[in-house]
Chain A
């Protein structure tokens, strides 16, 4: 007979997974994991009120189609649909201020990919609200807002996390979703490579006279790209890159003077414009963690990589991490594997790190090519755009990449449950 002492397994942890950081990546990962039956403790240094601001502050995201499918599969989309602006078309133009667009421009039409719109524009406040509401009503998630992690220890069978409240939590795995200056990564001794640009993005929302018809525009200007992305109603989100020196000067201007600088850059096709929210500046840079994993630890989203926002790929890349890690962990749990085992974490790193480095380099070189007033490069860009425009297959490839539909997609991004 079995030894009676051997009846019960004693690997009981307080929770399967601890996630640090309650932003967009942390909350969506907590939902994805809890929905497969795992227990998750979500530790966030910020308060719920700080995460859940209700006034529109001007920040918004271009959600790729694949990211929209993830939100749909997690059950979040119905709460967002009414506030989401479908992006039906993306027009890419090379131009110089005051000269208008060059004769060649790229025109990506959603009708060419037969998968609905190319993506959606969603305001930050709506996305946060939907995710936090779902976190609050999902069993299996213990949300600990206004709490910091002060220490993490991987000696012993799992990882033990010490909180600012003095509590300790044991888990099989700790996931850092705590942003660019991730304390989780720092405590694990993971360093990051970073490249700065002498560029700063000016971000704001504008209201305009004429409808945008769901069309997004990207103008490539010598100082940096200008993106005009459609929000619900007669509003658009502006991401306007300038040299850091120019950006500081423009940002110091009054609202009226700020708009005077903006008007000639995209012309009058939307009619009269006015500001529809606060103005922000973000210094542009690229960064990549030396490793996405460490013993009993994985990093996701901005904690793992920071991206040039040129193609709106930051949040989408973060959600790809979320989908890939959730799938790796769900499969491992169903097999009875240790969720924090090196073999399991390696699968996540293999899946995501190369992909991320490739995307970071691609957006980097794209930006270097376009943020330039060299006449030879400008000519090459015009020819290149003309070529892409005239070859439908090549254009479809660009559209699918922009919509996040290429590469080996995790199930959640294909709209399949785990």
Chain B
């Protein structure tokens, strides 16, 4: 069905299918991402629809838009974008994620171009996108400014950059590291280093230095009573998301 299929060893496919099933199991290892995903998608789709004047009720509203998802993992964001009609490239620095994401996209009947590459390499190759999704990545990179500059270069003028990360304050240390990694065991211990977290003001400053114009920021807030996530205009104290435009 897909060109990449032929490069995957047949004996490996079963293993990739098992790993894909794990990525897409809402109660499995990636449960925290599945729980956060509707909230992330609400923000992403609303921002894209507003910026590119699309009607989310229409069939294939993102038709004609080229989207890059950096750190695509098993394709939890790529697949919804493809389903909305976008042309999607999913990039991941972890090579083993690529065939896993590909196998699942094929099972879902979606065509997504998954690549084992980085933002810097894609920028050096002159790739251009209407939208770059940069979700929960910037807190893991060695040099955020260099990385965000590569993201900026990947955008066409007028392009949209959506970036989420974790705030740095005592609450985020308790919630994101003690809570998520040690108490709830939602994430493996050592997933996050608190000193790499970035405050919203610092991120806006970095985005500006990278050549982008920040236009919006919102909090992702977990409600322990309802046991789900929602967007907040005011509470950016732990997880938050930003939108920026390339002039």
Tell me the A residues contacting B by CB distance below 8 Å.
Answer: 2-3, 5-12, 36-37, 157-158, 331-332, 334-338, 342-343, 346
Contact = CB atoms under 8 A, between A and B. Distances in A.
Given A157-B107, A337-B80, A6 B2 contact: yes
B129 to A, nearest CB: 11
B45 interface: yes
A337 B38 contact: yes
21 contacts: A2-B66, A2-B87, A2-B113, A3-B3, A6-B2, A7-B87, A7-B111, A8-B111, A9-B83, A10-B110, A11-B83, A11-B108, A36-B57, A37-B59, A334-B57, A335-B42, A335-B80, A336-B80, A336-B83, A336-B84, A343-B37
Contacts of A331: 38
B82 interface: yes
A336 B89 contact: no
Contacts of B107: 157
B219 to A, nearest CB: 19
A342 B26 contact: yes
Interface residues of B, number: 31
Given A3-B3, A346-B26, A9 B89 contact: no
B112 interface: yes
Interface in B47-71: 56-59, 66
Contacts of A3: 3, 113
B85 interface: yes
Nearest to B39: A335
Contacts of B26: 342-343, 346
Interface of B: 1-3, 26, 34, 37-38, 41-42, 45, 56-59, 66, 79-85, 87, 89, 107-113
A10 B80 contact: no
B54 to A, nearest CB: 11
Interface of B, secondary structure class, is: mixed
Nearest to A36: B57
A9 B105 CA distance: 10
A2 B68 CA distance: 12
Contacts of A335: 38, 41-42, 45, 80
B45 A5 contact: no
B113 A6 contact: yes
Contacts of A158: 109
Contact of B109 (A2, A6, A9): A9
A5 B110 contact: no
Nearest to B83: A336
A4 to B, nearest CB: 9
Given A9-B83, A337-B80, 17 more contacts: A2-B87, A3-B3, A5-B3, A6-B112, A6-B113, A37-B58, A37-B59, A157-B107, A157-B108, A334-B45, A335-B42, A336-B79, A336-B81, A338-B108, A342-B26, A343-B26, A346-B26
A36 B59 CA distance: 10
Contacts of B85: 9
A29 B2 CA distance: 37
Contacts of A343: 26, 34, 37-38
A337 B79 CA distance: 8
Nearest to A339: B83
Nearest to A3: B3
Contact of A338 (B57, B81, B83, B111): B83
Contacts of B111: 5-10
Nearest to A5: B3
Contacts of A9: 82-83, 85, 109-111
A157 B109 contact: yes
B115 to A, nearest CB: 10
A81 to B, nearest CB: 28
Contacts of A10: 1, 109-111
A297 to B, nearest CB: 16
Q: Which of B38, B42, B58: most chain A CB closer than 10 A?
A: B38
Q: Which of B2, B56, B85: most chain A CB closer than 10 A?
A: B56
Nearest to B57: A37
A158 B107 CA distance: 9
Contacts of A157: 107-109
Q: Which of A2, A6, A12, A37: most chain B CB closer than 10 A?
A: A6
Contacts of B41: 335-337
Contacts of B34: 343
Contacts of B110: 9-11
Contacts of A37: 57-59
Q: Which 10 pairs across A and B sit closest by C-beta, in order of nearness?
A: A336-B80, A11-B109, A335-B41, A157-B109, A336-B84, A334-B56, A37-B57, A336-B83, A6-B111, A343-B26
Nearest to A8: B111
A11 B89 CA distance: 17
A36 B61 CA distance: 13
A142 to B, nearest CB: 15
A339 to B, nearest CB: 9
Contacts of A8: 111
Contacts of A346: 26
Contacts of A12: 109
A394 B77 CA distance: 48
Contacts of A7: 87, 111
B167 to A, nearest CB: 24
A158 to B, nearest CB: 8
Contacts of B37: 343
